[in-house]
Structure 1
Amino acid sequence: MKPASLAQLKKELKHKSGDELEALVLRLTKHKTENKELLTYLLFEADDEAGFIAHIKEDIDHLFEEVNTNTMYFIKKGIRKILRTLKRYIRYSQNKETEVELLLYFCTKMAAFRPSVKENQAMVYVFEKQKEMIAKKIVSLHEDLQYDYSLELKQITL
């Protein structure tokens, strides 16, 4: 089955009533957790970006506490899982400032993580790539924010 284009979907949705739209959205949320999370963000958290950021930071803290530190394999696996989750939340927001703030927080937590990951080349690469991405995103922000975030980025090291 070939999915319809976005234009076709928009055109078809214009012909639906409010009740039909509600039923379609609810049915869509039943299929994937991501759909439900995105709808939750759009309905409840999109108006309060600062609250959303605080909530995500709490989640990151919790996830870093849960990382299995028995071997470096489990540490790598856990940190990559945290980064995947974080990227998903960033995708919901689509706000550059939120993205920079959350990635900076992730890098700060990763730098402070014990046992240290600086001996593992793969984790150092993940850390450096995130710092590069942050630097690219900072350029698109307001000048005052650029300065603040640049200072914070320079302070983060493994």
Structure 2
Amino acid sequence: MKAVSVVTIKKELKHRSSEELLELCLRLSKFKKENKELLTYLLFESHDESGYIESVKAEINAQFEGINTKNYFYIKKSVRKILKTVKKYARYSLKKETEVELLLHFCTVLKDFKPSIFKNVTLTNSYERQIVLIKKIVSTLHEDLQYDYHLELEGLER
């Protein structure tokens, strides 16, 4: 079965009743965890973006605390998993400010992580790529926000 385009789906959804839309949403939420997470964000957390950011930051911290630090292989694997989670939660929001906040927090925690990530080339490169991405996103934001985020970035680059 080939999936149709988003435009086609949108046109079809316009012809459905609210009861049918409700059933479709509930059925969709049963198939993938990400669908359920996105619906949870849209229904319960999108109105309080700062609360959402804080809850994601707490989850990031918990994931970093659970990393097996016996060798760098496990650390790299865990850091990639955490970064994937950060990107997923940023994608739910669709707000650049949220993405920057989450990536800044990820980089801050990663920089302070023990054993130091700077003793491993792969982890250092991953950290630096996220810094470059943050700079790219910040350059598209309002000037006041750019200034605030640049101050935080300078602290990370030291």
Given the two structures, how large is their TM-score scaled by the length of structure 1? Answer: 0.97
Aligned partners of 1:76, 1:93: CA distance in 2, in Å?
Answer: 26
Residue-by-residue CA offset, 1:105-150 (whole Å, 9 max, x unaligned) = 1000000000111111000000000000000011111111101100
Runs of 4+ in 1 over 2 A off after TM superposition: none
CA contact (8 A) 1:57 1:102 kept: yes
Q: Distance in 2 between matches of 1:110 and 1:5?
A: 39
1:120 is matched by which residue type in structure 2? Answer: N
Q: What SS does the corresponding residue of 1:118 show, helix, strand or coil?
A: helix
Contact 1:100 1:134 in 2 (8 A): yes
Counterpart in the other structure of 1:70: 70
Matched to 2:35, the amino acid is N
- Counterparts of 1:8-157 in structure 2 under 5 Å? 8-157=8-157
Q: What is the total number of aligned residue pairs between the two structures? A: 158
Q: Distance in 1 between matches of 2:144 and 2:16?
A: 45
Instruction: Give, as a single letter, the amino acid of the residue that structure 2 aligns with 1:148.
Output: D
Amino acid at match of 1:38: L
Q: Matches of 1:127 and 1:7 in 2, distance apart?
A: 37
Provide the secondary structure at the position in 2 that maps to 1:76: helix
SS of 1:70's partner is coil
Distance in 2 separating the partners of 1:6 and 1:99: 24
Q: Structure 1: which 5+ residue stretches go unaligned?
A: none
Percent identical across equivalent pairs? 54
Structure 1 distance, partners of 2:73, 2:4, is 42
* In 2: Cα distance, 1:32 partner to 1:81 partner: 18
Question: Hey, what's the Cα distance between the residues in 1 that align with 2:42 and 2:128?
Answer: 31
TM-score, scaled to structure 2:
0.97
Q: 1:111–1:157: 8 Å Cα contact kept in structure 2?
A: no
Distance in 1 (alpha carbons) for counterparts of 2:111 and 2:5 = 43
Match for 2:115: what amino acid?
A: P
Shift of 1:157: 3.9
